Amino acid sequence: MSEGRSELEELRAALAASEQRAVAAEADLARVRAVVSTSEAMIAGLKLEIALLKRDKYGRSAERSAKLFDQLELQLGELIADAAEDRVQAERKTTKVGAFERRKPVKKAFPDHLPRERVVIEAPSTCSCCGSERIVKMGEDITETLEVIPRQWKVIQTVREKFTCRACEKITQPPAPFHPIPRGWAGPSLLAMIVFEKYGQHQPLNRQAERYAREGVDLSLSTLADQVGAVAELLKPLNALIEAHVFTAARLHGDDTTVPLLARGGTKTARLWTYVRDDRPFDGTAPPAVVFRFSSDRAGEHPTKHLAGWKGVLQADAYAGYNQLYEVARQPGPVASALCWAHARRKFFELADVQTNIRKGKSPKEISPIAVEAVKRIDALFEIERMVNGQAPEARLEIRKRQSAPLVADLERWLRGERALLSKHAKVAKAIDYLLSPNHWPGFTRFLEDGRVCLSNNAAERSLRGVALGRKSWLFAGSERGGQRAAAMYTLIGTAKLNDIDPQAWLADVIARISDTPVSRLSELLPWNWAGARKDLEIAA
């Protein structure tokens, strides 16, 4: 009997030891997973950091970096989430996770302007070791956690007391409070939020109304639309000032993008045009600004009308609709064309992008060696441009004539030689013809004659990036007037962003002040002047 009992105890002990070994192995596996996933996240983070540093050093390149950044950021987010799950699992498996080397993230301090709320954990009244009550505070450790308070709505009641005179019986009362919009009910901050979310964050009014209703404030779509129209009308004087500033520039960036316009039976393709003034690349002192215009189609009459009375250098693509601007007989004079090398490079890059072509199932043999070489040569021009960016026109022109001009001449000779050996049906031949066309080549070489000219039209393309993203949210413009109103609001918001100020904060302040500001002082509300005034007030405070 005793022998059977001892054997049973031995078996139980062996089973317990086996279970302990299994638990230990499972814990070791969890720790290994945590190490691997953390390392993978660290590697992905380093790759993204390297890519960002390269972009900061060498400038933006939409074809090569846009997809890469999206992919790296998505991959990094997923790997960090995986690492977090594995670390939690490792901590659950065992109370003591073995130490392993990993790059600990550096916690960025929360902004100082955020209010702090102290939550003090009640301290013990006696020593946890000996039970003595003779304990004295020797310091504290603070752990900060970022939290958000849901948006709060409030109704401001402005009380106007009435008084009557016992002597003359006259009734006196302060004047009614100012409203940005006649008979308005919304404050400046609310109005700024509505229009900025619609045009800056691409949130249609129906979605805004739904969100406000969930927060307990029932505002109909028609009510919000009424406020948007009133704000657009209120801010028209600022639009006029920005347009006047932009169209006094000697050089402009121009481009356009499609905008679906609601029409009978569906939608039709309308256009949103952009004209950007940015003198910073050639060390200009004029503030940057942008003007948007809307049209129901892409007829050449629209840019001709937009730029009527303007003369200077227009940086744009080779769209034939601009040709009327380049005519010698044009008044007040012909516009000088400066074409975009990024557009020309893109046509070669599409034929030289090995990874994309392989991903599409194409054979590496289909990659054009001429396109690869053309991309390398054009990239050499952009490398020089990064050196001269921000310098005075004279210095830029001197470096270009010394370094860029020989490269351009060599590129032209090489491309013409290769083109003579190609069929007119070859894809790379079309890219070469676009660059070397007699109508285009003078525009491509304009930067060798004028130090103010940029090598690319990226400034205009960047201004349209938000519109391209917004199309997925608001789907279409409801009418031509709606498109024109959108262009006016994009002008205000885009100019604020170019001057590195918060568009919503600026709009709120401008909406509150514009009606009381004399016409002669409206320029004080322009983004670049507003930012300077705010900085002076902060310094004085």
State the total domains in the chain.
3
What is the distance between the alpha carbons of residues 32 and 258, in angstroms, rounded to a whole number? Answer: 52
* Domain endpoint, select from 455, 476, 505: 455
For residue range 285-329, list pLDDT tens digits in order. 999 999 999 999 999 999 999 999 999 999 999 999 999 999 999
Residue range of the domain that includes 407: 341-455
Show the tokens assigned to 302: 């629209």
Whole-number pLDDT of residue 63: 47
Dihedral, CA atoms, 219, 220, 225, 226, nearest 10 degrees?
-80
Tell me: do 73 and 213 sit in the same domain: no
Tell me: do 345 and 332 sit in the same domain: no
Tell me: do 516 and 410 sit in the same domain: no
What is the distance between the alpha carbons of residues 315 and 443, in angstroms, rounded to a whole number? Answer: 9
What integer best gives the mean pLDDT of the chain? 84
Tell me: do 224 and 200 sit in the same domain: yes
Whole-number pLDDT of residue 311: 95
Q: Give the confidence band of 27 by pLDDT, cuts at 50, 70, 90.
A: confident
Distances (CA, A) of 511 to 159, 292, 473: 22, 20, 26
Tell me: do 464 and 446 sit in the same domain: no
Residue 126 lies in a domain: no
Tell me: do 69 and 215 sit in the same domain: no
Show the tokens assigned to 310: 């303007």
The answer to which of 42-51, 301-310, 492-501 has the lowest mean pLDDT is 42-51
Residue 265 lies in a domain: yes
For residue range 466-490, list pLDDT tens digits in order. 887 777 666 566 778 888 999 999 9
Residue 428 lies in a domain: yes
- The CA-to-CA distance between both ends of the chain, in Å, stands at 93
* Domain endpoint, select from 455, 489, 515: 455
User: Quick one: 264 exposed, middle or buried, by C-beta within 10 A (0-12, 13-18, 19+)?
Assistant: exposed
Residue 103 lies in a domain: no
Tell me: do 271 and 156 sit in the same domain: yes
Tell me: do 231 and 329 sit in the same domain: yes
Residue 175 lies in a domain: yes
Tell me: do 421 and 321 sit in the same domain: no
Show the tokens assigned to 298: 């892409």
For residue range 6-18, list pLDDT tens digits in order. 777 777 777 777 7
For residue range 96-144, list pLDDT tens digits in order. 444 444 455 556 788 888 889 998 888 888 888 888 888 888 888 888 8
Tell me: do 296 and 374 sit in the same domain: no
Residue 214 lies in a domain: yes
Tell me: do 420 and 314 sit in the same domain: no
Tell me: do 417 and 480 sit in the same domain: no
For residue range 182-192, list pLDDT tens digits in order. 777 889 999 99
Whole-number pLDDT of residue 59: 55
For residue range 200-214, list pLDDT tens digits in order. 998 888 889 999 999
- Interhelix angle 503-513/480-498, nearest 10 degrees: 110
Residue 493 lies in a domain: yes
Residue 101 lies in a domain: no
* Domain endpoint, select from 49, 73, 93: 93
| Buried residues in 49-82 as b, exposed as e (16+ CB within 10 A) | eebeeeeeeeeebebbbeebeeebeebbeebbeb
